[in-house]
Amino acid sequence: MAFLMRKGVSGATATRAFSGFGSHQLLHTPKIEVLAQHLPLRIEFVDTREKVEEILPTLYEMVSDGLIEVQDTNVVKHARKSPKPESKLPRQRQEGHAKMLRVFLGEADKWHDEPLYEAIVKRLRMLDIAGAAVYRGILGYGAKGHEHKQSFFHVSKDMPIMVSVIDSAEKIAAAAEAIEGMLEDGLIVISEAEMVRLVRSRQLREASDATGSIR
């Protein structure tokens, strides 16, 4: 990657495979630590024919065990946005006591034929909750004792999901009541929180500019 940058290649991307094997017929997998150190890597870049032909000899010397592939491609669109200097928007800081609501459920849970976590987020928006975040777990189990996990050869359709919300005590109480009516199997946790909220808004700048013009 450093060599490509020095040679002025327009851009390059390095990706790491989850599993693979090559001419040595040895399967590399993250399940075994020793084999995980040699997972396949792919470096890909697109540039002019002249640039590729210029750097190929050096790449031949650098890649002692691997595969180099060159193919013709058609660039449909080459977009590059030039950075535009923009003054920072004014920031508003809010802090105080709040409540944190966390809802634990399964990814396969439904509410009227749609994913339950999506329906919960929609209901939170209807209740004018400040914001919500949905997290997808990689391993877990619940009250039923079923283990939910994902592996390379098995993709679980019921991974653990957590919906997290922070707002005032009144709004959290209303949200918890609404969500409880939507849950069949799950867990609702409410805890105390100290909230510091930072908001940058164009409306704040416009209000500030208007105030300054009146003065």
Residue 78 lies in a domain: no
Contact 23, 64 (CB under 8 A): no
Domain coverage including residue 52: 2-62
The CATH code of the domain that includes 178 is 3.30.70.120
Residue 77 lies in a domain: no
Task: Tell whether 27 and 99 lie within a shared domain.
Answer: no
Residue 172 lies in a domain: yes
Task: Tell whether 107 and 168 lie within a shared domain.
Answer: yes
pLDDT digit of tens for each residue in the chain (215 aa)?
A: 889 988 888 888 988 776 656 555 556 555 545 444 566 778 898 888 899 999 988 988 888 777 888 888 887 766 666 666 555 667 777 788 899 999 999 888 999 989 999 999 999 999 999 889 999 887 766 555 454 454 444 445 668 899 999 999 999 999 999 999 999 888 999 999 888 877 776 555 555 554 443 33
Residue 155 lies in a domain: yes
Of how many residues is the chain composed?
215
Task: Tell whether 58 and 95 lie within a shared domain.
Answer: no
Residue 157 lies in a domain: yes
- Domain count for the chain, please give it: 2
Task: Tell whether 110 and 203 lie within a shared domain.
Answer: yes
Contact 39, 28 (CB under 8 A): yes
Task: Tell whether 38 and 107 lie within a shared domain.
Answer: no
